[in-house]
Amino acid sequence: MEFFLCVIGMVMFIEGLPYAAFPVKMKEWIKMVMTMPSATLRGFGLLMMLSGLLLVYAAKG
């Protein structure tokens, strides 16, 4: 459980970093994302999930 909480904390840190460092650019990027088709966002999300799983597998291997 301690490791899990550490991982969640790191994810939250990495997710929040661009908003803290570049708030104006993040607003522009969010506007751009809102115009993207749902299929594109879904594909990107799936690609990121698979990449994350591969990284975890490689780290454990």
* pTM beyond 0.85: no
Domain interval for residue 29:
2-60
pLDDT tens digits along 11-56: 999 999 999 999 999 999 999 999 999 999 999 999 999 999 999 8
Given a cut of 80, whether residue 3 has pLDDT beyond it is yes
Q: Three-state SS for 1?
A: coil
**Can you read off the two tokens belonging to residue 16?**
């929040």
Tally of structural domains, the chain: 1
Residues 51, 56, 59, 61, CA torsion sign: negative
Give the pLDDT confidence score for residue 35 in this predicted structure. 97
